[in-house]
């Protein structure tokens, strides 16, 4: 192998749920110079790529191929010969009707090193997500995985229908919705009883997952009446009866909901994980990026305040992000945390208090209500005129708390420890989902997430962002965020009782409040 040749990873992305990819598959995404992917690979996986990695979509639609398979094969070769590390991301498992053999053959012919990284095949995972195990000791110990369509102008004459009908227990057909009538007719002709249970699972493991059940005799008509489209997995066999008892995914409280998360990626993980755990599909669009203050005056004001840390009687921290950037700057300046030993520490809420505790500091004050009014109520009895208060906040923080403290005769030093910056990364995908009404809930955790989402959509070419968001349910944390949403002309469906991510998610489950 010559030094200028690259390497190709042929990776199974799994059936759709991005957490079903293998560790080795994720590593291939993170290593790639170029990622070549199709429509059945969840776009959320692409967020794990290196920022400079190139993306090439070769997705095949039922009625349209952007690139023919031979062209994809050659593309992988050409990219590797240019010295790139290439990850070919394919839905399901690349060896199960994924044509990985054809891609690998051409790589071998050109002397290119490659790895085949298996994925969880949709033929097993999709039925499982619908509550249908493909084998069960009380029903069958065998399963056949069959392509639902073959090459153009080719019939099913190459399939041994009689063998399938008589010798195999469960049959799973992939990519076969268009040929469902023929599949059912052939199986009945070869001896399968017309009352044999059948299930079709569309977009299995995705938020759009839908299941329809019937028998060989009536499933075709049911699918036609429901306008049930591909991509769908067809399961034929007695195990389909288990769905009524074992369907687990549909029972999750957020099943079928695709939820847009607008928080900065650095702070979105808790919300994303909660949505995912409760059966929803989180879609990250971090319209905010957090960073240290960019203005020289703000940086200097922060440093001046930190250099005289020992002078403050109170230090009030209003977010976990504020804690992170506050202590980061202390480290950078080489300031010993013990210099704040004279001050009483107030945290606006449990997450802020937790962030402090992780650094060995227990908050002196934690209010019952997690916002500026609540923290003022909690500390007001201990305040004395002339005391010095340090408020390390964000550049867009509301002015309620500093103004009220000043009115009470305290000397307030408010400094920006971080700022919110607008970002539009991956915005085209979000617009596509919104236009197709595929986003069901939008979460706003601060006023800046509201204003930045609207501005990001404008920068991406959406003339009327409010119209695009009409009809989407909206969930908010905090009165200021709610006020910003309403002032923008949107309605609120869910309101968190407390200013926490857990409370926000709980409001979506229970129905929340509607102040609109």
Model confidence at 153, in pLDDT bands (50, 70, 90)? very low
What pLDDT, on a 0 to 100 scale, did the predictor assign at position 398? Answer: 60
Give the chain's mean pLDDT. Answer: 90
d(CA 344, CA 8): 58
Model confidence at 421, in pLDDT bands (50, 70, 90)? confident
What pLDDT, on a 0 to 100 scale, did the predictor assign at position 349? Answer: 85
- The mean pLDDT value for 361-379 works out to 78
CA torsion through residues 466, 468, 470, 475, sign: negative
Catalytic residue among 17, 33, 171, 175: 175
- Omega before 231 cis (within 30°)? yes
Question: Is the pLDDT assigned to residue 47 strictly greater than 90?
Answer: no
Catalytic residue among 17, 38, 93, 416: 38
Q: Are 375 and 367 in contact (CB under 8 A)?
A: yes
SS3 214: strand
Element (H, E) at 114: strand 113-117
* Joined tokens for residue 308: 């005289």
pTM value > 0.85: no
Helical spans, DSSP H, in 317-408: 320-333, 350-357, 372-379, 400-407
Model confidence at 245, in pLDDT bands (50, 70, 90)? very high
What pLDDT, on a 0 to 100 scale, did the predictor assign at position 51? Answer: 87
Catalytic residue flag (residue 175): yes
**What are the DSSP E strand ranges found in 205-356?**
210-215, 232-236, 258-261, 281-284, 288-291, 314-317, 344-347
Cβ atoms within 10 Å of 97's Cβ, excluding its own:
18
Catalytic residue among 5, 26, 47, 60: 60
């Amino acid at each position: 192998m010559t030094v200028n040749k690259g390497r190709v990873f042929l990776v199974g992305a799994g059936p759709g749920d991005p957490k079903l990819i293998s560790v080795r598959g994720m590593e291939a995404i993170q290593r790639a110079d170029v990622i070549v992917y199709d429509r059945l690979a969840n776009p959320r996986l692409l967020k794990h790529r290196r920022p400079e990695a190139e993306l090439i979509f070769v997705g095949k639609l039922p009625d349209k191929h952007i690139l023919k398979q031979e062209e994809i094969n050659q593309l992988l070769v050409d990219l590797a010969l240019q010295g790139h590390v290439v990850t070919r991301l394919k839905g399901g498992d690349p060896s199960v009707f994924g044509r990985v053999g054809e891609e690998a053959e051409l790589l071998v012919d050109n002397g290119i090193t490659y790895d085949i990284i298996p994925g969880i095949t949709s033929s097993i995972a999709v039925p499982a997500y619908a509550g249908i195990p493909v084998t069960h000791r009380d029903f069958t110990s065998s399963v056949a995985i069959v392509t639902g369509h073959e090459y153009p102008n080719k019939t099913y004459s190459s399939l041994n229908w009689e063998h399938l009908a008589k010798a195999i227990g469960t049959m799973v057909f992939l990519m076969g919705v268009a040929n469902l009538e023929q599949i059912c007719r052939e199986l009945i002709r070869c001896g399968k009883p017309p009352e044999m249970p059948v299930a079709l699972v569309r977009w299995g493991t995705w938020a759009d997952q839908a299941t329809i059940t019937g028998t060989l005799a009536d499933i075709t008509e049911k699918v036609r009446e429901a306008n049930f489209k591909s991509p769908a997995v067809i399961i034929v066999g007695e195990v389909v009866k288990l769905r009524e008892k074992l369907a687990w995914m549909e029972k999750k409280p957020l099943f079928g909901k695709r939820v847009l998360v607008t928080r900065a990626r650095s702070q979105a993980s808790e919300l994303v994980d909660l949505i995912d755990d409760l059966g929803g599909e989180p879609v990250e669009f971090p319209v905010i990026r957090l960073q240290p203050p960019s203005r020289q005056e703000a940086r200097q004001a922060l440093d001046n305040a930190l250099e005289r840390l020992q002078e403050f009687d109170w230090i009030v921290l209003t977010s976990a992000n504020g804690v992170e950037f506050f202590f980061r700057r202390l480290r950078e300046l080489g300031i010993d945390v013990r210099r704040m030993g004279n001050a009483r520490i107030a945290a606006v809420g449990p997450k802020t208090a937790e962030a402090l505790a992780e650094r060995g500091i227990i908050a002196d004050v934690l209010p019952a209500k997690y916002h500026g009014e609540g923290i003022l109520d909690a500390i007001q009895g201990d305040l004395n005129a002339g005391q010095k208060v340090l408020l390390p906040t964000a550049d867009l923080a509301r002015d309620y708390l500093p103004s009220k403290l000043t009115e009470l005769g305290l000397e307030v030093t408010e400094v920006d420890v971080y700022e919110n910056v607008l970002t539009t990364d991956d915005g085209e995908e979000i617009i596509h989902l919104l236009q197709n009404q595929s986003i069901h809930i939008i979460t706003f955790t601060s006023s800046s997430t509201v204003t930045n989402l609207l501005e990001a959509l404008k920068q991406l070419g959406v003339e009327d962002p409010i119209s695009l968001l009409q009809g989407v349910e909206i969930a908010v944390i905090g009165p200021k965020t709610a006020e910003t949403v309403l002032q923008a002309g949107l309605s609120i469906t869910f309101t968190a009782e407390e200013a926490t991510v857990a409370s926000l998610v709980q409001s979506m489950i229970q129905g929340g409040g509607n102040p609109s």
